[in-house]
């Protein structure tokens, strides 16, 4: 039975990854400080092969048993969190990644860094390929997250080149699904919460900025394929379907049958105008591509919340 350590395992993505690994026959050690994760995300797991360790990855971590895989997901990931926790975001990207890589090195485990499409900033290349170096404002409010992840990528590659650690880097594009926090601050959980409460949906700017939304099960499949591959440079995992934020709001209103209106507010500083992954590498090297479209994924998300979805 392989053993996997999942840092940030009580978060939205981490809890789904824990489920997937357990279903594949792994022993899973979930490490989380519960700053943004929650025990509610893992309370359904009642298996002897699962262990939870409350620990902050900016501190050294010791696992006194063999480890085969280390998935490093620990980090605040939504603007509402990393703007509230700017120093901790930088520390978990630096000290936390160093500690997670050290754990993988000690156990000779495969390592996967959950990086982000935010390393591309407000991109001047569209769609974004892994060869694009990005357009990031390092001293803007979003810089604490963007630069933490860029540094984490550099540290991961250094461990691979100098220390021989078997590392992998996934650049995650917008992902959604069950267990997202209603007050997460990102578009889908915010719109769903507002729609279900019949409150106005808050669209920034004119809603013409674009995003690409990947359902969580597709993303986790990409994780599994990548960490078992021989690819050490970053790989985009996301859904290349591109939608304006206004289009997203309108789909959610239709699926929920909400009477909510749409209101417009000023764009936040450094908010990217476009975001869509080039997934050519994932397709050619991993045989991966998403299987769930936006409307189907939103239906699954709403049904997972116990919401009756409106008939089209």
Read off φ and ψ for residue 160, nearest 5 degrees.
-70, -45
Contacting residues for 308 by C-beta, under 8 A, at least 6 apart: none
* Strands (E) located in 228-270: 235-237, 243-244, 262-265
Which DSSP letter does residue 165 get? Answer: -
Annotated catalytic residue, options 120, 145, 159, 176: 145
Could you tell me the sign of the dihedral formed by the alpha carbons of 60, 155, 289, 272, in that order?
A: positive
Cα distance between residue 238 and residue 152, in whole Å: 20
Q: Is 151 a catalytic residue?
A: no
Which DSSP letter does residue 123 get? Answer: -
Cα distance between residue 43 and residue 40, in whole Å: 5
Please list the active-site residues.
145
């Amino acid at each position: 039975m392989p053993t996997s350590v999942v840092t940030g395992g009580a978060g939205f993505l981490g809890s789904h990854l824990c489920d997937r690994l357990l279903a594949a026959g792994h022993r899973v050690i979930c490490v989380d400080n519960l700053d943004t994760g929650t025990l509610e995300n893992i309370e359904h797991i009642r298996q002897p092969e699962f262990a939870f360790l409350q620990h902050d990855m900016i501190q050294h971590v010791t696992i006194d048993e063999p480890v085969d895989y280390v998935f490093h997901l620990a980090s605040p990931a939504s603007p509402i969190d990393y703007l509230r926790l700017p120093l901790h975001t930088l520390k978990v990207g630096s000290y936390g990644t160093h500690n997670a890589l050290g754990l993988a090195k000690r156990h000779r485990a495969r390592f996967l860094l959950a990086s982000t499409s935010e390393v591309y900033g407000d991109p001047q290349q569209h769609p974004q390929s892994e060869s694009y170096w990005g357009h990031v404002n390092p001293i803007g409010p979003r810089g604490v997250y963007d630069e933490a992840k860029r540094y984490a990528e550099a540290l991961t590659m250094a461990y691979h080149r100098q220390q021989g650690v078997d590392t992998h880097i996934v650049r995650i594009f917008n992902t959604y699904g069950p267990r997202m926090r209603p007050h997460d601050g990102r578009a889908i959980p915010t719109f769903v919460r507002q729609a279900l409460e019949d409150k106005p949906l808050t669209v920034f700017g004119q809603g013409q900025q674009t995003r690409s939304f990947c359902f969580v099960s597709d993303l986790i499949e990409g994780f599994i394929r990548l960490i078992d591959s021989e690819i050490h440079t970053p790989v985009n995992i996301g859904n290349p379907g591109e939608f304006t934020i206004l289009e997203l709001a309108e789909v959610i209103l239709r699926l929920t049958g909400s009477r909510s209106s749409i209101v417009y507010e000023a764009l936040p500083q450094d908010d990217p105008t476009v975001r869509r992954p080039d997934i050519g590498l994932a397709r050619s090297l991993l045989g991966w591509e998403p299987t769930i479209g936006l409307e189907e994924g939103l239906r699954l998300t709403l049904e997972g919340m116990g919401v009756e979805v409106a008939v089209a």
